[in-house]
Every structure is written in C-alpha cells, then in structure tokens.
Amino acid sequence: MAQRHFLAVNGKRVAYLDFGGVGSPLLALHGHFSCARTFAGLADALRDSWRIIALDQRGHGWSDIPDDYSREAYINDLVAVIEHLKLDPVVVLGHSLGGLNAYQLAARRPNIVRAMIVEDIGAMTDQVPPIVPDWPERFESIRQVLDFFAAKGWGNGTYFLESVVEYPDGWGFRFNYNSLVTSQQLLQGNWWNDWLASTCPALLLHGHTSWVLKTEHAREMASRRPNTRLVEFPDCGHTIHDASPAEFYKAVKEFLESITS
C-alpha cells in the first residue's frame, strides 16, 4: 500500500506517494488535472526492480494550491523532493505537464537526473485545451460527475476520477480548475533549448492520435537529441498509460533495463 507523505516547500505543502518497491528510485510526475495515484499500475508493474515515488504536483492532489505556477516553481518542487529523500541521481518519468517538468529538470539540474521518460509532450507546446467555463465546483453525486464528463465528450472521465473526493457540500476535485487553466497557459512555449540541453538517456513515448504532440514533432525531438529512444503507440492518444497500460509498462521496463544492464 502506498504511503502518503508531506514536505514543506517555500511555505506550501507538497504531497507525494511512496509506492515502495525494490531497487533504484523512480520519480513519477502526472499531467494537469491528475495526481500521484495515476501511477499505481506502473508501481505494481515495476515493484520487483524499482521504488516508485509519485508527486502530487503543486495545485494537484493533496498538495497545496499555490499562487505561482511558473516553470521555476515546478522545478524547485522537484529539486526539494529529490534532495529531501536523497534520491539523486534519479530516473524521472513524466506525463504531459510532468514530462515537460522532467526534461526541464534534466536540463537545469543534470547532476540529479540519471535518465528521463517523457510521455507525450513536445519541445514546443502551443496546444492550449479549450476552457470549460461551466466546470462546477461541486456535484451532487458521482453520477452527476460522470454525466458531466460524458456531456463534454470525455467518455467516463477516467483520467480525472483519481482526483474526485467527497466534501461536506458535495463531490468535487482536489484541484481548482481555474488555477490549473493558468498553469496550462504558462506551460506554452518554445522549450527546444531545454529538450536539447541534457545528455542523459531518454525515452520519448508518443500516441499517434494525440492532440498535444504530433508525430512529426516527436520524431524530430528524437532525431535531434542524442541518446533518445522514441516509442510510438499507433492506437493511443495523449494518455498512453491509461489507454494502453500493458504496452506502456513494457516500453518503460525495456528502457529501464537498458540503462541498468
């Protein structure tokens, strides 16, 4: 069973889950509107050889909602967790927002990153999802939550459900939607310099139907950065670890084996 812990970083509480496991540490970073629990399946798949620690990134999960969603603030959180837990050098895996944070951490603090796994985020991030102005703060029931996702065309909303909790006045999320819209907007930019700055082994995972990362761009990222392996998932979109978990775990395992053999 994963153990939740808290760390104070610049006056704000940062939460993380230690899934345990045997072996070297791997720090896992979720995407926007998700949380550390999204990596429970990965932790089970790697339990015999890796210790998985998953962060609730600022404004998500059990971490505090901050005033600052800058690139520097996200990276400072990662450095604080790595130094506090004495994880360095660590393998960092990140999806979307977490993927950008992973490769920017590797660029800016190469001494503490052993290798990185980046799930479906580009070196240029110019795709801003549509704002949902009618996102409710509370729902009367879980059925209402599911109906909201269905009405938006998001299926059963699996991606968001790890963050749903019951409050005294109804069901809601462990994030503030409007705050994370700000975070998404600050994610946009040309980050080629960061992507190319590090030299550690890297695995880039890309879903062909992703609305965030186009196939041509993913292939350019892999070709321009030495020591980078690209694995493509023809039947997946942006969230590969949810859409095709077995294949996702396989690709991650093979990469991890290659850097430890």
The CA-atom distances, in angstroms, between 124 and each of 71, 117, 224 are 14, 17, 14
Residue 199 lies in a domain: yes
Q: Spell out the per-residue pLDDT of the chain, length 261, in tens.
A: 899 999 999 899 999 999 998 899 999 999 999 999 999 999 999 999 999 999 999 999 999 999 999 999 999 999 999 999 999 999 999 999 999 999 999 999 999 999 999 999 999 998 767 788 889 999 999 999 999 999 988 888 889 999 999 999 999 999 999 999 999 999 999 999 999 999 999 999 999 999 999 999 999 999 999 999 999 999 999 999 999 999 999 999 999 999 997
In a domain, 169, yes or no: no
**Looking at residue 92, which CATH number applies to its domain?**
3.40.50.1820
Q: Could you tell me if residue 10 is inside a domain?
A: yes
Assigned domain for 108 exists: yes
Nearest CA to 95 out of 33, 17, 149, 46 is that of: 33
| Residue 143: per-residue pLDDT | 96
Q: How many domains does the chain have?
A: 1
Domain range for 52 is: 3-125+189-260
pLDDT for 1 equals 83
| Residue 175 placed within a domain | no
What per-residue confidence (pLDDT) applies to 241? Answer: 97
Residue 156 lies in a domain: no
Is the residue at 16 inside a domain?
A: yes
- Rounded-to-integer distance, Cα 33 and Cα 181, Å: 10
What is the full DSSP assignment across the chain?
--EEEEEEETTEEEEEEEEE-SSEEEEEE--TT--GGGGHHHHHHHTTTEEEEEEE-TTSTTSPP-S---HHHHHHHHHHHHHHHT--SEEEEEETHHHHHHHHHHHH-GGGEEEEEEES--SEE--PPPP-TT--S-BSSHHHHHHHHHHTT-TT-HHHHTTEEEETTEEEESS-HHHHHHHHHHH-EE-HHHHHH--S-EEEEEETT-SSS-HHHHHHHHHHSTTEEEEEETT--S-HHHHSHHHHHHHHHHHHHHHH-
